[in-house]
Amino acid sequence: MECEASAGQRMSRPTPRILLDEHYPASLASLLMAEGIDVVAISVSGSPLLGATDTDVLKAATSQGRVVVTEDVSTFPYAIAAVPDHVGVVYCRSSVFRRAPDGIRHLAKALTRLLANPPVGLGSAPIVWWLEPVE
């Protein structure tokens, strides 16, 4: 069963492990790794998930205990329905977190803030979270 979490449900938890969907560059993974976050980017050359379906991406993330970070808000719900035992999906609005260098740094900052104090269950339960920009 899918859980929609709200900001009021956040409290200190272990940092979830992350799988960045293929539209995010390796530079985002590097920024997150510099913050001590365990992250894998599909966009890295040779990734077996490059070009995979959303369902296959979510299955792989689930088997690795990773939360998927994606902007595929129109297609990823189908993957969530197909893989109900996932350990989390973080949606990022492309209109807020652009893929230009400044947007990637802004996204890294927002993800780092989220992961410093993740919602209850993110990384261990089927949480769906909408990432908010950092002020």
CATH number of the domain that residue 122 is part of: 3.40.50
Encoded amino acid at 28, one letter: L
- Within-domain flag for 32: yes
CA distance 61 to 68: 7
Domain count, the chain: 1
CA distance 85 to 70: 17
Question: Which residues lie across from 10 on neighbouring strands?
Answer: 119
- Within-domain flag for 73: yes
CA distance 115 to 37: 8
25-79 pLDDT, tens per residue? 999 999 999 999 999 999 987 889 999 999 999 999 999 999 999 999 999 999 9
- Within-domain flag for 135: no
Contact yes or no for 27/133 (Cβ under 8 A)? no
- Within-domain flag for 43: yes
DSSP 8-state secondary structure symbol assigned to residue 74? T
Minimal CA–CA distance to 64: which of 75, 48, 76?
48
Q: Which domain holds residue 100?
A: 3-130
Q: Is 115 helix (H, G, I), strand (E, B) or coil?
A: helix
- Within-domain flag for 116: yes
| pTM listed for this prediction | 0.89
92-105 pLDDT, tens per residue? 999 999 989 999 99
CA distance 111 to 106: 9
> CA-based angle 6:10:14, to the nearest 5?
135
